[in-house]
Amino acid sequence: MSPKITTELLKQLRQVMKSPKYVQEPIQAYIVPSGDAHQSEYMAPCDCRRAFISGFDGSAGTAIVTEQHAAMWTDGRYFLQAAHQMDNNWTLMRMGLKDTPTQEDWLVSVLPEGSKVGVDPFIIPADQWKSMSKALRSAGHDLVPVKENLIDTIWTDCPQRPCKPLIPLDLSYTGVSWRDKIVALRSKMAERKVLWFVVTALDEVAWLFNLRGSDVEYNPVFFAYAVIGMNTIRLFIDGDRIMDPAVREHLQLDSTLEPEFKIHVMPYGSILSELQAVGAGLSPKEKVWLSDKASYALTEAVPKAYRYLTLYTPICIAKAVKNASETEGMRRAHIKDAVALCELFNWLEQEVPKGTVTEIIAADKAEEFRSQQKDFVELSFATISSTGPNGAIIHYTPVPETNRTLSVNEIYLLDSGAQYKDGTTDVTRTMHFGTPSAYEKECFTYVLKGHIAVSAAIFPNGTKGHLLDSFARSALWDCGLDYLHGTGHGVGSFLNVHEGPCGISYKTFADEPLEAGMIVSDEPGYYEDGSFGIRIENVVLVVPAETKYNFKNRGSLTFEPLTLVPIQTKMIDVNLLTQKECNWVNSYHQKCREVVGAELERQGRQEALRWLTRETEPLVKVQ
Amino acid sequence: MSPKITTELLKQLRQVMKSPKYVQEPIQAYIVPSGDAHQSEYMAPCDCRRAFISGFDGSAGTAIVTEQHAAMWTDGRYFLQAAHQMDNNWTLMRMGLKDTPTQEDWLVSVLPEGSKVGVDPFIIPADQWKSMSKALRSAGHDLVPVKENLIDTIWTDCPQRPCKPLIPLDLSYTGVSWRDKIVALRSKMAERKVLWFVVTALDEVAWLFNLRGSDVEYNPVFFAYAVIGMNTIRLFIDGDRIMDPAVREHLQLDSTLEPEFKIHVMPYGSILSELQAVGAGLSPKEKVWLSDKASYALTEAVPKAYRYLTLYTPICIAKAVKNASETEGMRRAHIKDAVALCELFNWLEQEVPKGTVTEIIAADKAEEFRSQQKDFVELSFATISSTGPNGAIIHYTPVPETNRTLSVNEIYLLDSGAQYKDGTTDVTRTMHFGTPSAYEKECFTYVLKGHIAVSAAIFPNGTKGHLLDSFARSALWDCGLDYLHGTGHGVGSFLNVHEGPCGISYKTFADEPLEAGMIVSDEPGYYEDGSFGIRIENVVLVVPAETKYNFKNRGSLTFEPLTLVPIQTKMIDVNLLTQKECNWVNSYHQKCREVVGAELERQGRQEALRWLTRETEPLVKVQ
C-alpha cells in the first residue's frame, strides 16, 4: 500500500473553500465525514468522499481540512491502515488515545478567531451537527452548511450515483403488502399525533415498499427517500428504473387507487424542497416525525416546533420483528447457506494440506458454493477469511498484501454471509485442519460455552439484549480471558446484515427489548494478538420459551439457531463442558444433520453429506 | 390509618400562594417535592413537607397544589398507603399506569393560560428544574422560584432543623485525614481545570471532613455545605456544635495553619450569598464544579458559563473506594453484626414456636442484640421484619396495623442493618422455623444460585456492575421466575447504607466501573404475592481475583463477602446446586464458623455459638 498523493487535491479543496461560487463567505475549515445522506453503514463509491480526499478507505473516519492542516480521526482498528494510506499532508488523530484531541478541541486550537467551519448538511446527522455547532459557537466560531459538496466539485472522475434496477418482492417473501405496512405506519403516526413521517434510511425505504436494489454493495437497497402523510405517499427516487413494468405493477402506479395509497414518484433531489413545502404548510400541533439520525439538512427543513424526533423510527422497530413468511425465508436461506459451507469445509479439508489455498482463494470458493444456491443475490458483507495471526484482527479482510496460506498448523476463521432473495445470512466458524493445541482447544471451548450460554438463555419478555451480553463472557472471564467486541447485532431479512434496534452488547444502552420474531447474531470470540482468532457465530431467532412457572404469565423468550453449520468438535475440550452444554452441542448437531443433510441429499451433494455426517457425530462426555 | 384532614391547610397554602409577602406575583400552582436541600434519600422531620401538607408519608411522592386541585404523584409501592393517608381534597396520580398524566401534562391541562408555577429552588434539583421549566414554557406557563418555602410559612409546629453534636472520626477509622482528602480533591479539580468545588450532598460533606452526625435518622450525617477553593475551605454549618473542643481540635480551627487548610466556618444559611459572591468574582475559564443533582438555587448562583456539572462528584467516586482502614472497620462491623444475628436467630428458633413473637418484637430484638455490640450507633435503615405474605411486600416495615406473628408455618424475611462507628451493615436472611415446602425450597435455592453467581463472579477491571445483574437472575429465569428490583447498591463506611456511584442493577446505566475496595450489596430475591418473600443479601467487597490468564494484565476482580451470617441450609434443595455452588456454600459457612465463632466465643455467647456451629454444618451433595 503506497499512500495517496493529496497535495494537489488539498490545494484545490482550499481554493473552493474560498470560492464565492460555493460559499457565501470563505470557510476556514471543511469537515468530510464518512457517511452518506442516509447514514448508511456501507457506502456507494460516489459517497466515499473521505477516501477520495485522503486516500484512507477504512469504514470509519472523519477528515477535517483547514487552510494549514489536514487531519483524520479514526479508531484503533484503522491506525495502521490509515498511516499507510495517507501522505504527509495528513495528521492521523488516533481516537481513544489519551492525548488525541476531539475534532472540536482541535478545531478550536488551530482556527483563527471567528472562523467559519463548513460541512455538507446532507451528510452530517442532526445530532452531530448540534453538538459540533454548540462547541464551536462557545469558542466564537460558526458551523455553516455548505450546500454543494466541496469534494464533489474537485472530484472530476467521481463515479455516478448508482441507479440499478429494482427487485419487487412479492407476499411470499414479505408476508405483508406495502399497503398494509403504510396502514400500520399511519396508525403509529396517529398514536403519536404526527401528520408526516420522513423515511431517510435506505433499508427502511426498501422494507416499506417491499422493494430491493443493488445500489450499495452487500446491501440490497436503492437510493431513495419517502415522505408519508396521512393521505399521501411520496417516493423520491431517480432513474428509469421506476418505468420497469414489474415495479409499476408492484407499486400499482398505473392503477386507480384510493388517493391515500397513490404513490407520487418524485426526483431523488427534490426531497429537500418538498419537505420544506410540507414544513411551511404546518399549523400548530401538526408534527413531522424524523429519526434523530436524519441529516441536518432534512431536519432543518422542518421548523423546530413541528419536529418529532426519535432514536428508532416505527419502521426500524417493525422491520426488526420478522413475520412468518420472513422467518420461513430466513430458515430456507440458512439451510442453503449451510449446504454451501459444508461443501466449502469438505473441500478445504482436502485442499489445505496441499498448501495451495490462500485466504482469498478460500473466500472466493465460499462465494462460489453460495452462488450455486437458489435465489443467491450477492454476499452480505466482505468475507473475513483469516488464518493464524490474521484471525486476531477482528475486522480483517484478505488483500493480496496480507494474503496468507491456510495450513494444518494454524487456526482458520471464516466469517461470511450472503444475501438470498429469501433471507440474509452471517455465520462464523473456526476450524483447524491439523491438530489444535490444548490451549487453542481450551480457548475455543470457553468461546463455545459463551455461545451456548446466550443461545440457550431463557429470559422474561421485555428483557433488553444488553442484559445477556455477560452470559457470553462468563466462561472466558473465569479464566481471565475476554473479547473486545459486542456479542450480537440485529440481522435484516434480505436486507442489511447489521440493523437496529436490538443487539447483544455491553456497549449498547439504547437497544429495544427483544421480542419473538427478532433475529440477532450470537458471536462471542477470543483473539490472541499475533497468533490466532476464534469466533463462533450463529444467527438466532427470538422465540417464546416454555418455563416451569412462566413469569406469572409475563411470558418468556429464548433463541432458536437459524444457522445450521457444524461446530468443529475437534476444537472442543469436552471435559470443560457441562453435561447440559454437551447435550446442547449434540442436539444442535443432530438438527444440522437432519435438516441440512436432507437438503444435501436433495441436491445430490454426497461428499459434503458424508462430511456433515462425520462432523455431527455426538460428543461423549466421560462422567 | 385514617386520612389527614387537609382542607384548612390547603386553604392557607392557597392564600400564601397569592400573598405579596411571599411571592412577587400570585402563583397558580405550587410544587412540593419530597426532597431536602441536599437531595438526601432520608429526610429530617422538618423536611417532610410533602407529608405535612398531604398526610402521605411514603418515601417517594410529589404534591402539586393549584387553586382548584391538589394532586399527589407516587409509584406502585405506595398506591395503597397514599390512598389511605390522604383525604378527599387529594387526587392520587398512580405513576407507571398508562392513563396517569405526567406532572407537566397535568399542569398544562388544569392551569389557566399564562400561569406561574412556584417551587422552592433549594428543594428541586437543577436537572428537574430544567425539564419542568422547559415543558411549562412550551405551553405558555412559567416555572418560578419561590424563595421562602410556602409550606414552612403555614407549618406552625414545624420541628426545628436538627443540630446534633458532631462525631470526629480519627485516622484509625478513616485511614486518610481530611487534609489529605482536600489535597486529593484539589488535584482532581486541577485536572478538570476548575477553581471551586461545591459539596452539597450530606454524606459527601461528612466524608470529606471525617465527621459524622445524627441529624437524619439512620444516616450519620449533619446539615452542612462546603465550598472548596484551591486556597480556601468554607464550611457552612449551624449551631454551637462547632464549639465542641474535640471538633475544633479535629478541624484544627484554633491552630496556626497554612491558609489553604484553614477552615472558615460560616452559617448554614449563608451558602447562597457566598456562592453568588464566588460566582460574581469569576473571570473567563474559571469554573465551579457542582453535581448536576445540586439544587436549582445553588446551581443558578453560578453563572451558566462558569458551571462545570457532572453526574458523580470526585468525592462520590473517592468515597466509594474504601481504603484499608475503612475495609478493616467494615469487616469488624460485620463480625459484630453477625454475632447479633446469631443471637437473634437462636432466640427466634426457641420463641417462634410459642406464637408470641411478632414482626415488631423480632425487629426490636434484633436492635437489642445489635446495640450490645461495641461502637453501635443506630440502625442503618428501618428494619424489614416480615413473615408470610408481608415478605412479598419488598419495602415493608411492620407497623401495628400490619404486624403479623411469626409461626412455624411461614417463611420469615429479615432485612436489617446497623451503623457502627467502624462500619455500616445491611443483611437479609430468609428463615423457616418449621418445615418449608418443596416449592419454597426450590425458589430459595434459585435465589441462592443467583446470589452465588454474583458473589463468585470473576470479571475484568473496568466492568460496570450492571453487567453482572443477569448472573443473579439466570437460575430464576430458567424456571420462569424473576424479581422486580435491582441486585445491589453501594454501601457507605459508617455512612449512608445506599450510596453511589456503583451498583448491580438492570436499571442503572450510569454506574461507574467496579473497582477493588468498592463495597456493594448482593441481594437477589423472589416474591410470591400473597404468600411469601425470599431474599438473600450479603454486603460484599470488590477484591482482585486470580485467574489463569489474567486478562493480558488488564487484571480482574471478584467479591469477598463481608457479611458472615449463615444461610439457612434447611431452605436449600441441595439437588438443585452444582458441586461448585455446594462448595461455595460450605466454604462460606466454614468462614462464618471460624470468624464469627471466635467472636462469639470471645464474647462468651455459648448458646449462639452452638447455633452457629449447627447452622454451618457442610452440605452434602449426593453424586
Phi, psi for A477 (deg, rounded to 5): -55, -40
Average pLDDT of every residue of chain A: 96
Band (pLDDT 50/70/90 cuts) for residue B113 is very high
**Best of B482, B508, B552 to mutate (most A CBs within 10 Å, chain A):** B482
Select from B458, B467, B468 the Cβ nearest to the Cβ of A478: B458
A319 burial via Cβ count (<10 Å: 0-12, 13-18, 19+): buried
Query: Å from B591 to nearest chain A CA?
Result: 23
Contacts of A371 (CB under 8 A, 6+ apart): none
Residues of chain A with pLDDT under 70: 1, 508-509, 623
> What string of DSSP letters covers A302-334?
S-GGGEEEESS-HHHHHHHS--HHHHHHHHHHH
Residue B51 CA, distance from chain mean position: 19
Strand bridging mode B263-266 / B233-237? parallel
**Best of A479, A504, A509, A550 to mutate (most B CBs within 10 Å, chain B):** A479
Query: Å from B593 to nearest chain A CA?
Result: 27
Contact A554/B477, CB-based, under 8 Å?
Answer: no
Contact A479/B506, CB-based, under 8 Å?
Answer: no
Taking the alpha carbons of B402, B405, B410, B411 in that order, is the dihedral positive or negative?
Answer: positive
Q: Quote the DSSP letter at residue B596.
A: I
Contacts of A187 (CB under 8 A, 6+ apart): none
> What string of DSSP letters covers A426-495?
-EEEEEESS---HHHHHHHHHHHHHHHHHHT--EETT-BGGGGHHHHHHHHHHTT---SS-SEEE--SSS
pLDDT in tens, B5-39: 999 999 999 999 999 999 999 999 999 999 999 99
Write down the pLDDT at residue B107.
Answer: 96
Distance between CA atoms of B386 and B396, rounded to whole angstroms?
7
Distance between CA atoms of A217 and A214, rounded to whole angstroms?
7
Enumerate the residues of chain B whose CB falls inside 8 A of the CB of residue A550: 480
User: Does B622 score more than 80 pLDDT?
Assistant: no
Rounded to two decimals, the pTM is 0.94
Helix (H, G, I), strand (E, B) or coil at B197: strand
| Beta carbons of A465 and A508 less than 8 angstroms apart | yes
| Beta carbons of B49 and B88 less than 8 angstroms apart | no
Residue A552: CB atoms within 10 A of its CB come to 12
Select from B458, B481, B509 the Cβ nearest to the Cβ of A551: B481
| Beta carbons of B341 and B180 less than 8 angstroms apart | no
Distance between CA atoms of B397 and B391, rounded to whole angstroms?
10
CB pairs under 8 A between A and B: 68
Write down the pLDDT at residue B507.
Answer: 82
Amino acid at A431: M
- Reported for A257-265, long-range contacts at CB under 8 A and 24+ positions apart, including other chains, are A259/A231, A259/A232, A260/A230, A260/A231, A260/A232, A260/A233, A261/A179, A261/A182, A261/A233, A262/A232, A262/A233, A263/A233, A263/A234, A263/A235, A264/A232, A264/A233, A264/A234, A264/A235, A265/A235, A265/A237
Select from A477, A506, A549 the Cβ nearest to the Cβ of B481: A549
Contact B478/A547, CB-based, under 8 Å?
Answer: yes
Contact A548/B468, CB-based, under 8 Å?
Answer: no
Assess: ipTM above 0.90: yes
Enumerate the residues of chain A whose CB falls inside 8 A of the CB of residue B96: none
Write down the pLDDT at residue B2.
Answer: 87
Contact A556/B480, CB-based, under 8 Å?
Answer: yes
Residue A27's nearest CA partner among A134, A136, A170, A101 is: A136
Q: Which residue in chain A is spatially nearest to B463 when comparing CA positions?
A: A506
Contact B474/A478, CB-based, under 8 Å?
Answer: no
User: Does B570 score more than 80 pLDDT?
Assistant: yes
C-alpha dihedral (A391, A395, A399, A405), degrees to nearest 10: 10
Contact A551/B482, CB-based, under 8 Å?
Answer: yes
Q: In the 3-class helix/strand/coil scheme, how is B103-142 assigned residue by residue?
A: HHHHHHHHCCCCCEEEECCCCCEHHHHHHHHHHHHHCCCE
Enumerate the residues of chain B whose CB falls inside 8 A of the CB of residue A477: 457-460, 547, 556
Contact A549/B474, CB-based, under 8 Å?
Answer: no
Query: Å from A551 to nearest chain B CA?
Result: 5
Strand bridging mode A194-199 / A287-291? parallel
Q: Which residue in chain B is spatially nearest to A506 when comparing CA positions?
A: B467
**Among residues of chain B, what percentage have pLDDT more than 70?**
99
pLDDT in tens, B343-363: 999 999 999 999 999 999 999
Average pLDDT of every residue of chain B: 96
Write down the pLDDT at residue B1.
Answer: 63
Tell me the β-bridge partners of A532. A528
User: Does B508 score more than 80 pLDDT?
Assistant: no
Structural domains in chain B, CATH included, are 6-153 (3.40.350.10), 167-319 (3.40.350.10), 321-615 (3.90.230.10)
Residue A64's nearest CA partner among A127, A141, A1 is: A141
Q: Quote the DSSP letter at residue B570.
A: G
pLDDT in tens, A107-147: 999 999 999 999 999 999 999 999 999 999 988 999 999 99
